[in-house]
Chain A
C-alpha cells in the first residue's frame, strides 16, 4: 500500500478536481460562460501527453546510450499512452470549440499543430511495426522520437505564439496569461494537471507490466 501512495494522491486530486471544477467560482465572461471550467478538464490532457512524451524521450536517449532493449520498450509504451491523452485532448477541444468558436475545427495554428503532432507520433508506431530486427527498430525509433519531440515543441509551443491564435495567451504572450490573474482558478487547475499526470503515469506503469509479460511469453516460445 505504501509504495502506491502516489496513485492514491492522484485519485484524491482528481476527485477534488471534479468537485471543485463544477462548484468553484469562476470569472463571468461573455461567450465562454461556464465553459471556462473546461480549462480544468481539457488542458490537463495535453500536459499529461507532454509529460508522457518527455518520459519517452528520456528512455529513447537511455536506449541509444546503453543499447538495453528494456528502455526501448518503455519509450514505446510511453508514446502509446501519450497518444491516448492527445486524442482525448483533441476531442474535448473540438467539443469546446463548437460552442465557443462556433465550429468543430478551424485552421487555427495550435489546432493544426496538435493534429500534426498526433500524426507524427502515429507515424512512430507505424515505423516501429514496419521493421523486424528489434535493436535496429529501437535505434531508428529512438532517433525518430528525438526529432518528433523537437517538432512537437515547435508546433504546439512556438508557432502558436508567433502568429495570432484563437487560443488564449497566444500571439506573443505566455500561455494562459488571461487566467493567471484568477487565483481561484489556479487552485483547481494545478491540482487537475498533477492529478491527470499521475493517472497517465499509472496507466503507463500498467502498460509496462503488460509489455514485460508479453516479452516473457515470447522468450518462452522461442526457447
Chain B
C-alpha cells in the first residue's frame, strides 16, 4: 500500500513538473554550461593524442624499414 501511494505521488509530481516547464535536451546547458567547456577540452586533448598516435605510427614504419635493410 505504501509502495502504491508513493508511486502515485511520483506520478503526480512528474506530471506537475512536466506541465510547468517543457522538457528540453538541456544537459549541455546545466551548471552554467560547464559541460561545453568540458567537451571542448576533451576534443582538443583527444585530437592531439590521435595526432600523436599517427606520428608514432609513421616514425615506427620508417624505423622498421631501416632496420630491415
Interface residues of A (CB under 8 A from B): 7, 11, 14-15, 18-19, 22-23, 199, 202-203, 205-206, 209-210, 212-213, 216
Asked whether B37 lies within 8 Å of A22 as measured between CB atoms, the reply is yes
Q: Which residues of chain B in 39-56 are interfacial with respect to chain A, using CB atoms and an 8 Å cutoff?
A: 41-42, 45-46, 49, 52-53, 55-56
Main secondary structure of the interface of A (DSSP, over half): helix
Residues in chain A near residue B34, CB distance under 8 A: 22-23
Residues in chain A near residue B45, CB distance under 8 A: 14-15, 18
Asked whether A19 lies within 8 Å of B38 as measured between CB atoms, the reply is yes
Residues in chain A near residue B59, CB distance under 8 A: 206, 209-210, 213
Asked whether B66 lies within 8 Å of A213 as measured between CB atoms, the reply is yes
Asked whether B41 lies within 8 Å of A22 as measured between CB atoms, the reply is yes
Q: Quick one: which of A199, A206, A212 contacts B55, CB cutoff 8 A?
A: A206
Residues in chain B near residue A209, CB distance under 8 A: 59-60, 62-63
Asked whether B52 lies within 8 Å of A18 as measured between CB atoms, the reply is no
Asked whether B63 lies within 8 Å of A203 as measured between CB atoms, the reply is no
Tell me the minimal C-beta distance from B55 to chain A in angstroms.
6
Whole-angstrom distance between the alpha carbons of A212 and B66 in the complex?
Answer: 9
Residues in chain B near residue A19, CB distance under 8 A: 38, 42
Asked whether A23 lies within 8 Å of B38 as measured between CB atoms, the reply is yes
- Nearest CB to that of A207 among chain B residues? B59
Whole-angstrom distance between the alpha carbons of A216 and B41 in the complex?
Answer: 39
Whole-angstrom distance between the alpha carbons of A210 and B37 in the complex?
Answer: 35
- Nearest CB to that of B42 among chain A residues? A18
Interface string of B17-43 (1 = CB under 8 A from A): 000000000000000001001100110
Given contacts A11-B46, A203-B52, 20 further A-B contacts (CB under 8 A): A7-B53, A15-B42, A18-B41, A19-B38, A22-B34, A22-B37, A22-B38, A22-B41, A23-B34, A199-B49, A199-B52, A202-B56, A205-B56, A206-B56, A206-B59, A209-B59, A209-B60, A209-B62, A212-B63, A216-B66
